[in-house]
Amino acid sequence: MSFISNKAIPVQERLIMALDVPSITDAQALVEELGDSVIFYKVGMELFMSGDYFGFIDWLKQRNKKVFVDLKFFDVPATVGRAIKALSSKGVDFATIHGNNAIMEAAATNKGDLKVLAVTALTSLDRGDLDDLGFQCDVKALVLSRAKRALEIGCDGIVSSGLEVSMIRKELDSRLLVITPGIRPVDNREDDDQKRVVSVEQAFQNGADYIVVGRPIRDAQNRKAMAIKIQSQIASQF
């Protein structure tokens, strides 16, 4: 069964490029290299620690790019609420949070026009990793529980592996935005830390609204050509 997204999202914006590079200079060079092949960028903790993070966000917005701040806010609910409120004034489009109901409620209350995404289970975790963390339930049960709570509390969406998206769509229809990382348009490498991965086509057939792609574009010999190829794969699904 296909759960192709019916949301009014421009097709070219459905690809979110993860800027997992060591410095702001590297990130700017990559954005310029990719040009108009990518509109939406994810900026995470590596860049947060490397320099003028918010100056770089302004730089992206000046170039009409959309921005996904992936810092997975997790702290005392009041602190998360204030952080999300401050971030909402920066022109950012998406931001991730992690944690319990109180944290999600604080973020949802303070988000303004910013879309808040709750992390379900990281795509770098498998069953053994969840056992180590003390989660005795099935991965799918954990993801579904968090997705349901995020929807009830007022978050805009979730970050979820493509392996669980079809289950979420069956249970919660199309109300939540679903952003799917761990996309591999080619075979997974042995040194890849992503374990629960899917292809571009699988992710969208299962119901993803957006996909996050990093390594396959960043490590390609011709980065722009790879981004264009992935955009073509996405377009073929809509």
Catalytic sites, residue numbers: 72
The number of helices, as runs of H, and strands, as runs of E, in the chain is 11, 8
CA distance 78 to 85: 11
Name the one residue in this structure whose structure tokens are 């996405």.
Answer: 234
Question: Which residues make Cβ contacts (< 8 Å) with residue 151, sequence separation at least 6?
Answer: 172, 175, 176
CA angle 83, 86, 90 (to 5 degrees): 125
Structure tokens at 165: 């998206």
Contact by Cβ (8 Å): 71, 95: yes
- Is the torsion defined by CA of 231, 178, 122, 89 positive or negative? positive
Question: Which residues make Cβ contacts (< 8 Å) with residue 130, sequence separation at least 6?
Answer: 121, 139, 142
Contact by Cβ (8 Å): 44, 91: no
CA distance 238 to 232: 10
CA distance 184 to 187: 7
